[in-house]
Structure 1
Amino acid sequence: CSENGLGGVLLPLLTGEYESYHHPKYDPFWEACQDLNIVVCFHSGPAPMEDYYGQMFPMGNIDNYPGAVGIFISEVFFWTYRPLIFMTWGGVFERFPRLKASVTETGQGFLLPPMLKMLDHHYHDTHFSAKLGDYRTHLSMSPTDYFKRNCAIGASCMPRTDVEIRHELGLEQLMWGSDYPHPEGTWPHTAKDLKDAFTGFPEDDVAAILGGNAGKFYNFDMAAVDKVAAEVGPLKSDFV
């Protein structure tokens, strides 16, 4: 991958019959990704569909499972973040401090802050869980600190409300995306959506979210990116 110019590898959210991502057997893979500057990527969508639609999914009658879609869309983003939880508590980011991981299309604004708050709570307050065994002395930082150092968010169709809490989410972690060509994406109204979301915010913050953060995280050739952006990208004046 690296020799052919690829900068990321997409891993499944669900490992099925294989070990989950906190198992040390994956360490050689994490080490290779770290050394080659390959980003480990996770994308929303996969979930235990049989729980929602029955054991015969996708061949069964989904009408027998009322509310299945509502249950799925309520839980699907949790499954997207789940590998990061395994990697954090499993010490993957501790052992490989330069490893980078991204999650994409995750509903970050309403889910990420309380999730990190919950993880940090368990890291700092061990009174109620220490009886289960040691789970944190192998970590030198809080889950939030690992997230800010090692992770980034592919923020699909980022709404203005998420831009408003960009510092709470982590300004340097946010990478805007259009989700093209999905029908829930911004196309063909991308220009309007960008203006609605980003107008009035500091120029440096907007530039970081719209491209700078992704360029740094994925080690893009920004000179090449700038040439394309000059032809098709929005203007700074669009967000005044």
Structure 2
Amino acid sequence: MPLQDYMQLISTDDHLIEHPKLWADRLPRKFLEAGPRIVEMKMGPNDRLAEVWNYEGRIYPYIGLNAVAGKKPEEFGAEPTRYEDMLPGCYDPAARIIDMDIDGVHAGVSFPSFPRFAGTVFLEGEDPELALLCVKAWNDYVLDEWCATAPDRLIPMIILPLWSVEESVKEIHRTAAKGSRVISFVENPVPLGLPSFHTDHWDPVFRAATETGQPLSVHFGTSGKAPITAPEAPMAVMIALFGCNSMYATADLLFSPVFHNHPDLKVMLSEGGIGWVPYMLERMDQTWNKHRFYQNINQTVKPSDLFAKHLFGCFIDDEHGLVNRNLVGIDNITWESDYPHSDSNWPNSRKVVHDLMIDVPDDEVHKIVELNSRKLMNFPRTEPTV
């Protein structure tokens, strides 16, 4: 059945490029030099003058693949880029709405770019006071400026000061009072030098998330551990394998005490796809059936039952996953655009979704493209006034 006009596409994974003065507009004067700011440097094989971020003297170049919406694959590249090379919708919220209208996307949630998808750049901060202010500045920008531009279209996501559970809890409650709907979190804290999901370290954060009714969104790659096989392997190997990070996160969480201790916690597996879910659930259930008795894992609840209650797969154009959607769980699937990254189908997202779901019943399509996301993120539909 065709995708009906009454269905509004909700993207659970887009990205914004921070504008050059985001932190300069919000940090105290004494931190302006050390805080994130754009500088120009010659970079790349052609010594091209690029715009890059300087934070406490460390240079963080924008990767070109983060802002390729509107370009042909032949024009993609990983070299640093400039704002003038991007569509304005990458960094301007009003222009973003225009690009969403072109793409047929009604609403979306956007991850950070310079701070990385879960704000882990600020774990590297030498000054913890500045790092905390930087996290708060990003969140305030998203809540007060980016999403305030179109509150019924742009869904507020926040990042956390991951080095401090106490400050993370405070930030969850502070931003929830201002309207945040989603919390970006890491797929695996251990590679970042943080305690694992198998400890009680994160319990206050998970409690704060459930108290404020917000899901965690764990984008692949947020662990900082890319799935590369060899130093000589091309970047294509890493890109092809990135979904494995979501598989790791799924196994890690389902065999951890997290969902047993926090029965209302919801976690989104951003950009992980869904085609692998049926196999992983089968494999984990088999492992649980045969190996749970001699290990420190829950003895009464199967991993697949936990998945159905707590985890949500997010996909862009996963044909295999949609064919097997009932094994994933219709209520556990959300759609994403990934604008302005290289996996995005902009400006043809609505057509791609229509063609991809032509044989999917309308009620299932409606859940996948809109209703599941609205329920998960507590983002009700706003009907136009007459």
Given that 1:9 and 1:38 are in contact with CA atoms closer than 8 Å, whether structure 2 keeps it comes out as yes
| Matching residue of 1:220 | 379
Instruction: Give the counterpart letter for 1:99 in structure 2.
Output: L
Give 1:3 shift. 0.8
Alignment of 1:95 onto 2:254: no
Give 1:74 shift. 4.4
| Matching residue of 2:300 | 140
Q: 1:200 aligns with which of 345, 359, 384?
A: 359
| Matching residue of 1:151 | 311
Give 1:121 shift. 0.7
Given that 1:103 and 1:153 are in contact with CA atoms closer than 8 Å, whether structure 2 keeps it comes out as yes
Instruction: Give the counterpart letter for 1:48 in structure 2.
Output: K
Give 1:124 shift. 1.1
Quick one: structure 1 residues 227 and 209, their matched pair in 2 at CA, closer, same or farther if it must change by over 3 Å? farther
Give 1:119 shift. 0.9
Alignment of 1:31 onto 2:207: yes
Quote the Cα distance in structure 1 between the aligned partners of 2:216 and 2:299. Answer: 21
Gaps of 5+ in 2: 1-174
Bigger strand share: 2
> Which has the higher relative contact order, 1 or 2, with Cα contacts under 8 A spaced 6 or more apart?
2
Quick one: structure 1 residues 227 and 214, their matched pair in 2 at CA, closer, same or farther if it must change by over 3 Å? farther
Give 1:149 shift. 0.4
Instruction: Give the counterpart letter for 2:346 in structure 1.
Output: W
Please give the secondary structure, in 1, of the residue aligned with 2:345: coil
**Structure whose CA Rg is larger:** 2
Q: 157-166 or 174-183, which moves further after superposition?
A: 157-166
Quote the Cα distance in structure 1 between the aligned partners of 2:273 and 2:213. Answer: 26
Deviations 1:1-40 (A, max 9, x none): 2111111111123422111122112111111111211111
Instruction: Give the counterpart letter for 1:8 in structure 2.
Output: V
Quote the Cα distance in structure 1 between the aligned partners of 2:319 and 2:256. Answer: 34
Gaps of 5+ in 1: 54-64, 229-240
Quote the Cα distance in structure 2 between the aligned partners of 1:149 and 1:171. Answer: 12
Deviations 1:58-104 (A, max 9, x none): xxxxxxx3224244234322222333322221221111111111101
Q: 1:46-195 residue pairs with structure 2 within 5 A?
A: 46=222, 47-49=224-226, 65-109=231-275, 111-126=276-291, 130=293, 133-136=294-297, 138-155=298-315, 157-195=316-354
Alignment of 1:5 onto 2:179: yes
Given that 2:197 and 2:257 are in contact with CA atoms closer than 8 Å, whether structure 1 keeps it comes out as no
Please give the secondary structure, in 1, of the residue aligned with 2:198: coil
| Matching residue of 2:193 | 17
Given that 2:181 and 2:377 are in contact with CA atoms closer than 8 Å, whether structure 1 keeps it comes out as yes
Give 1:120 shift. 0.7
Given that 1:13 and 1:42 are in contact with CA atoms closer than 8 Å, whether structure 2 keeps it comes out as yes
Deviations 1:168-201 (A, max 9, x none): 1111011111111223211111232022111132
Give 1:160 shift. 3.6
Quote the Cα distance in structure 2 between the aligned partners of 1:140 and 1:3. Answer: 37
Quote the Cα distance in structure 2 between the aligned partners of 1:122 and 1:190. Answer: 38
TM-score normalized with structure 2 length:
0.50
Quote the Cα distance in structure 2 between the aligned partners of 1:159 and 1:78. Answer: 15
Given that 2:268 and 2:314 are in contact with CA atoms closer than 8 Å, whether structure 1 keeps it comes out as yes
Q: 75-84 or 29-38, which moves further after superposition?
A: 75-84
The size of the alignment, in residue pairs, is: 208
Quote the Cα distance in structure 2 between the aligned partners of 1:77 and 1:169. Answer: 15
Quote the Cα distance in structure 2 between the aligned partners of 1:49 and 1:124. Answer: 31
Given that 1:81 and 1:103 are in contact with CA atoms closer than 8 Å, whether structure 2 keeps it comes out as no
Between the aligned residues of both structures, percent identity stands at 21
Given that 1:11 and 1:42 are in contact with CA atoms closer than 8 Å, whether structure 2 keeps it comes out as yes
Bigger helix share: 1
Quote the Cα distance in structure 1 between the aligned partners of 2:376 and 2:211. Answer: 14
Give 1:50 shift. 9.6
Quote the Cα distance in structure 1 between the aligned partners of 2:229 and 2:185. Answer: 23
